[in-house]
Amino acid sequence: MKLSYIVPVYNVEAYLDKCLQSLYNQSLELVDFEVVIINDGSSDNSLKIIEKYRSLYQNITLIDQENQGLSVARNNGIGQAKGDYILCVDSDDFLIQDSISNLLQKAIDLDLDVLRGEYRYCDDAGNFLLLDDTKRHRYQYSYKIIDGDLLFQCIYCKEFYIPLLLIRRSLLLENRLYFREHVYFEDIEFAFKLSLLAKRVMYVPIVFYIYRLRDGSITRNLTYKKILDLFAAIKGLKSYSGMIIYPEKTNRVLEETISQLTVYLLISLSNFTVKDRKELLKQLDMKSISSLLVFGNIKEVIVSVLYNVLGTNVIGLLSPVVRLRNSLLK
């Protein structure tokens, strides 16, 4: 079997049909792929939708479990998968029609560990959003066989979206690489570790994945736990930075990633009340992030400079600005 789709599902009845249908709107024979669906304790009609597709297609494997989170669901799906390659698909997203078969065949023909494709954003209603210029930095590596160092340094562009990666399943199993469980932002650490293992990588600048920006998505609404998990992800990357075993550019990109994520953390903290911020900061070892690289867009540069001067006191300055922005966006 060539491909296993790994599809965790949790209360996505409004989007699931489009997601699953898109997996079958590809130029692939049914015998060449499987769909491993992990129903992660859904309480809506998601399971009914899954059962409808199981009645139509024989290549669906259903894992029905109590709610344990995205990481556990993905790990369980990978454990059940049989394909040479896996593709993780979030169940509120969908694939472009007839986009997968050529990418998959290229990965097989070139014996790739990882193939990284492209994506577009859509809004909650499925309308495509304007493209940004992030992708242009990757174009010079298009269709070239590169290694994991360049994957991390130049292809991710700090976008750690695991669903954009066709991954050789044996690479994960042989190296026991799984997602850290019961945490948010698990893609960050996983993507970095994957780049350390991958020897044959290709970037193909073809849009195949549509990433839906939902109001309730993990990255758009940071709760207490998400703040703690984001900081844990930052500290995880910090533990790798500066190691002489990595190329200089890899360490530089690590530091840039740590800085960008910390800016995001600081801005997110400014959304909390003063009392909640104080409680959170007691649990965050912000002293371990002594300074940030000053780079990026204007917002990132300003917040980085202020953090380097004021430390966490910068959150108090950011709070009224962020609240004003939020009120204007409503």
Following DSSP, what letter does each residue of 119-139 receive, concatenated?
A: EEEE-TTSPBPPP-SGGGGTG
217: DSSP letter: -
Q: Fold for domain 1-210?
A: Spore Coat Polysaccharide Biosynthesis Protein SpsA; Chain A (3.90.550)
Task: Collapse the DSSP code of 166 into the 3-class scheme (helix H, G, I; strand E, B; otherwise coil) and give the result.
Answer: strand
User: Which residue spans of the chain are classified as CATH 3.90.550.10?
Assistant: 1-210
Residue given tokens 């970037």 in the structure block: 203
CA torsion angle for 122, 96, 24, 84 (degrees, to 10)? -110
Q: What is the pTM of this model?
A: 0.92
Tens digit of pLDDT at every position of the chain (330 positions): 999 999 999 999 999 999 999 999 999 999 999 999 999 999 999 999 999 999 999 999 999 999 999 999 999 999 999 999 999 999 999 999 999 999 999 999 999 999 999 999 999 888 888 766 666 789 999 999 999 999 999 999 989 999 999 999 999 999 999 999 999 999 999 999 999 999 999 999 999 999 998 775 544 567 999 999 999 999 999 988 877 677 888 889 999 999 999 999 999 999 999 999 999 999 999 999 999 999 888 999 999 999 999 999 999 999 887 776 666 555
Please give the pLDDT value at position 64. Answer: 97
Neighbours of 86 (CB within 10 A): 24
